[in-house]
Amino acid sequence: MNLIKGIAIGICFPLLMITGSLEAQNVQIPAESVDFKVFPNPNLSEADTYVSLQGFKADNLLVVVYDMLGREIYSKIELIENEGFLFTISSDGHRLTSGIYLITASANDKVFHQKLIVK
C-alpha cells in the first residue's frame, strides 16, 4: 500500500482513490421568503410567548416546544387561514421555567426552528 506522509504533524495516512460520477442538480430557491420568529426573546417565565410565521401557506401548523433534554413541553395544532400566522403560547397553563427551549413549527413537510431563552 502506498502511503503519503503528512507534513504538518507527521501523520501517515493511506492514499484513497475514489471513482464514480457526480451529478449536479438545479435547486429552486423560492422567490418568497419565510419569516419565522419567536418573541419576546429572551422572555420571562410569567409572560406570554408569541410565534409568528409569515410568507408560508399551509392549512394547519403543528407548534411544539421542547426543552434541552428533548422532552416535549407543549404542542398544539393550529389552523392557518391565510399566509400570515401569529400564535400565542399562554403563560397561564404553560409556564416555562428558566432555561433554553426549541420551538418548532411544521407543516407541508417543512420544519422551522427557533431557540427561546426564558429568564
Give the three cell numbers for residue 119: 429568564
Its domain, for residue 84, covers: 33-118
Q: Is residue 18 part of a domain?
A: no
Q: Is residue 61 part of a domain?
A: yes
pLDDT in tens, 65-108: 999 999 999 898 887 777 777 778 877 666 788 899 999 988 88
Could you give the number of structural domains in the chain? 1
Give the three cell numbers for residue 27: 435547486
Percent of the chain with pLDDT over 90: 20
Cα separation of 41 and 63, whole Å?
17
CA end-to-end distance (rounded Å), the chain: 59
Instruction: Name, in order, each residue with C-beta under 8 angstroms of 42's C-beta and a sequence gap of 6 or more.
Output: 116, 117, 118, 119
- Residue 52 — very low, low, confident or very high, per pLDDT cuts 50/70/90? confident
Please report where in the chains the cell 391565510 appears, as a residue: 82
Q: Is residue 45 part of a domain?
A: yes
Task: For residue 92, give the CATH number of its domain.
Answer: 2.60.40.3080
Cα separation of 114 and 96, whole Å?
15
Q: Is residue 62 part of a domain?
A: yes
The CA-CA-CA angle for residues 42, 43, 45, to 5°, reads 140
Q: Is residue 1 part of a domain?
A: no
Give yes or no for a cis peptide into 14 (omega within 30° of 0).
no
Q: Is residue 20 part of a domain?
A: no
> Is the separation of the CB atoms in 93 and 73 below 8 Å?
no
pLDDT value of residue 64: 92
Residue 109 CB: number of other CB atoms within 10 A? 6
Q: Is residue 95 part of a domain?
A: yes
